[in-house]
Structure 1
Amino acid sequence: MSRSLNEIAAKLRALRPADFDLDNVEANGGERLAALSERDDPQQWAPLLYSLMERLDEADLGSPGPIVHTLEAWSGYHPALAESLRRKPAPLTVWMANRVLNLDPPDAAAWLELLHQAAKHPAASAQAQSDAHHFLEYQATRR
């Protein structure tokens, strides 16, 4: 039975950083997140996933994990990813931007600019800023 968007939103809002603590054997955030990611209409609930990545930007949400796999399976995720990067870059969104650049898209300059902005974004965590710097260095060696 399909869960409603409101039910999924409530379950995503209930997730806390402690749910992803790898040192806690009782933490089950990854399993809960994977179960929530089993939907076939990501365009409707992708904003909830970006919001989660922004809110829990210091939690280990996977590498790449169910969020990234779900979003990347949706062909229309680029505009929402760009919006999330402008709002509050998070390690996973910065990482996703790097993955976009690895495909050498025609709008690579715009994605590089988003990474430059992420590297100094005042709302970005130190980790997101550091990751953005790292990916910019990496992308410079590819071009």
Structure 2
Amino acid sequence: MSRSLTGIAAELEALTPLDFDPMNVDADGPDRLQAICAELVERNDPERWTPLLYSLIERLDDADMGSPGPMVHSLETWSGYRPLLAESLRRKPTPLTLWMANRLLNTGPSDAPQWLELLRQAVGHSAASPVAQADARDFLEYQASRL
């Protein structure tokens, strides 16, 4: 029997930046995250678990949780992830969510102007870290060279 979503959410909440610190010999965050994401994908309710992953991405925005990593792969298994990605970018752009938006733009979506606008907004977003703001600038420059 699979765990409850509440139990999974608690495990995600327990993850800290130290769990992903490459200098921490006891860091097991990548392995734990991989296992959690595999468990989530097995469930048939992505509309319920997707917000948990975006919340973790926003909370641990400076941690290296993979590029793309298990969360991005898990999120992209559900066709409905894009509106929640846009909401996350509006709340708190992070290096990983900006990377996801750039990845999406690379596919030439019909709604590319919306995603470009989200990248523009991230450049000066008050909740975005300096790293995220720089990433947004770099992705905008890259996308401008493609269009």
Q: TM-score range by the shorter chain?
A: over 0.9
Q: Is the 8 A contact 1:42 1:70 kept in 2?
A: no
Equivalent-residue separation in structure 1 for 2:34 and 2:110 (angstroms)? 32
Q: 1:51-88 CA deviation, whole Å, 9 max, x = no partner? A: 00000001001111100000011111000000000000
Which SS does the other structure have where 2:141 is aligned? helix
Percent identity between the two aligned chains? 66
Q: Which residue of 1 aligns with 2:29?
A: 29
CA distance in 2, matches of 1:122, 1:93: 16
Counterpart residue type for residue 76 of structure 1: G
**TM-score w.r.t. length of structure 1:** 0.97
Q: Confirm or deny that 1:42 pairs with 2:46.
A: yes
Cα RMSD over matched residues? Answer: 0.8
Q: Distance in 1 between matches of 2:131 and 2:4?
A: 33
**Matching residue of 2:85:** 81
* Map of 1:106 onto structure 2: 110
- Give the equivalent residue in structure 1 for 2:70: 66
Matched length: 143
How far apart are the structure 1 equivalents of 2:132 and 2:8?
A: 26
1:7-26 map, 5 Å:
7-26=7-26
Structure 1 residue ranges without an equivalent (≥5): none
